[in-house]
Structure 1
Amino acid sequence: MEERMRRVDPKLLELLVCPLSKGRLSYDAERNELISEKARLAYPIRDGIPIMLISEARKIEM
């Protein structure tokens, strides 16, 4: 995958919140996911588009 596809626009990251917890998200470049520490969920990014559906999120251990 191209490097530019594996980045998230910082302005977009400021606007997006976790749909479950309404908390802030952080970007995990290695896994290409948005992380909600509060909800312990990782939302995938596919083709440069964050998939902000709880049903699509991966549960994470912290």
Structure 2
Amino acid sequence: MDYRLLEIVACPVCKGKLNYDKDKQELICKIDRLAYPIKDGIPVMLEPEARRMTMEEVESCRSQS
């Protein structure tokens, strides 16, 4: 994942900042609790493709930030 990409991509739902989860290969929107997959190095920024995160996952991401 090119970290420069994180500077320009935003959540397609709320236009907020995304965080990169290297282990799960996902871009995380903490506001909307959505995790967008990265497939073959390409972020899939479609809401229907995003995984809904649990509150526990979101809290875990917040504590890591």
TM-score norm. by structure 1 comes to: 0.85
Find runs of 4+ consecutive structure 1 residues off by over 3 angstroms: none
Residue 50 of structure 1 is matched in structure 2 by 43
Residue 14 of structure 2 is matched in structure 1 by 21
State the number of aligned residues. 55
Identical amino acids, percent of aligned pairs: 53
Structure with greater contact order relative to length (CA < 8 Å, sep ≥ 6) = 1
Where does structure 2 lack aligned partners over 5 or more consecutive residues?
A: 59-65
TM-score norm. by structure 2 comes to: 0.81
**Superposition RMSD in Å:** 0.6
Residue 31 of structure 2 is matched in structure 1 by 38
Looking at secondary structure, tell me which structure has more helix per residue. 2
